[in-house]
Amino acid sequence: MNEHVDDLAELYALGSLEDLDRARVERHTSSCAACAERVSEAEESVTRIAELQTMHEAPPGLRTRLHSSLALAHLRHAWVRSIPAAIAAALVLALIPTWVAVDRTRTVAAMHQDEQALAKIASAPFARAQFMSPRNAPMDAKVLYGMHGDWYYVVVMHPKPGMQVAYVHEGKMEMLGTVATHGASGTLYLPVNHKMEELALVSDGAVIGDAHLAY
């Protein structure tokens, strides 16, 4: 949009523009001080209306969720440093089978873990964090965790076979377990009594997502 926004300023602030026009206004105001000022005045008017409407307390988990999402900028660099460690850890785990083997025992164990997780979710306060891909796109994966860092429950949709969950700390990764698959979803319950601030999803030795946890 090369033309000034004129009356579109108020329409923009009111939310009366279609997405395409809205994006054009945003692009134009990023380089036109006069239009930015007019849009800003319109935004003030809309905000004055909004402030006179019913106020609702934001849910306490929202701030935690924002922190988890926005801390990713720091993680990207950590991933680069930790990839060799991740590969090494994955190789070690491949050589030493863990308690999660692909057989009936695993299924029963996974069901038991899910029951434990559901009991925690039902009875204790918990938070959640979204796993994000290295490109900062949200994945169909979350971790629910106790506010005291005493349990973690990772839920992944369409997990890759053998997908693992790792604890990321000071540029190193510690594998915690393998996601158990149930149809289209996968879960892993971790009764770890330790506050972990960063978890990663690892598949074939590569980090494919991570989540930041806040307490």
Partner 1 sequence: MASAGIRPGAAEERTLAQAFARREDWAFDEAYRRYGTLLYSVALNVLHNVQDAEDCVHDALVRVWRNPKTFAADRGSVRAFLTVVVRNDAISRLRASARRGRLAERLGREDEPAEEFEIDDFVQQRKLRAAIEELPQEQRQPVLLAYFGGKTHVEIAKELAEPLGTVKSRISLGLRKLGAALKEGRP
Q: Which residues make up the interface to partner 1 (CB under 8 A)? A: 6-19, 22, 26, 29-30, 33, 36-37, 39-59, 61-63, 65-67, 69-71, 73-74, 136
Least distance (Å) between residue 136 CB and partner 1: 7
Give me the least distance between CB of 134 and partner 1, in Å please.
Answer: 14
Q: How far is the CB of 211 from partner 1 (least distance, A)?
A: 14
**Of 150, 128, 149, 130, which Cα lies nearest the Cα of 138?**
130
**Residue 180 in tokens:** 């158990």
Q: Which residues are CB-neighbours of 120 under 8 A, at least 6 positions away?
A: 126, 146, 151, 153
Q: What whole-number distance in Å separates Cα of residue 202 and Cα of residue 209?
A: 7
**For partner 1, which is the closer residue by CB, 96 or 137?**
137
End-to-end CA gap in the chain: 45
Number of Cβ atoms within 10 Å of the Cβ of 156:
24
Residue 194 tokens, joined: 């330790």
- Closest approach of partner 1 to the CB of residue 6, in Å: 8
The DSSP symbol for 148 reads: T
| CB-nearer residue toward partner 1: 109 or 127 | 127
Q: What is the spatial distance between Cα 156 and Cα 193, in angstroms, rounded to a whole number?
A: 22
Query: Could you give the CA distance from residue 90 to residue 113 in angstroms, rounded to a whole number?
Result: 23
CB of 185 to partner 1, least distance (A): 20
- Measured from the CB atom, is 131 or 189 closer to partner 1? 131
Residue 22: CB minimum distance to partner 1, A:
6
CB closer to partner 1 out of 70 and 92: 70
Closer CB to partner 1, 42 or 179, in the complex: 42
Q: How far is CA 24 from the centre of its chain?
A: 29
By beta-carbon proximity to partner 1, the closer residue of 10 and 150 is 10
Q: Which residue type does 37 have?
A: E
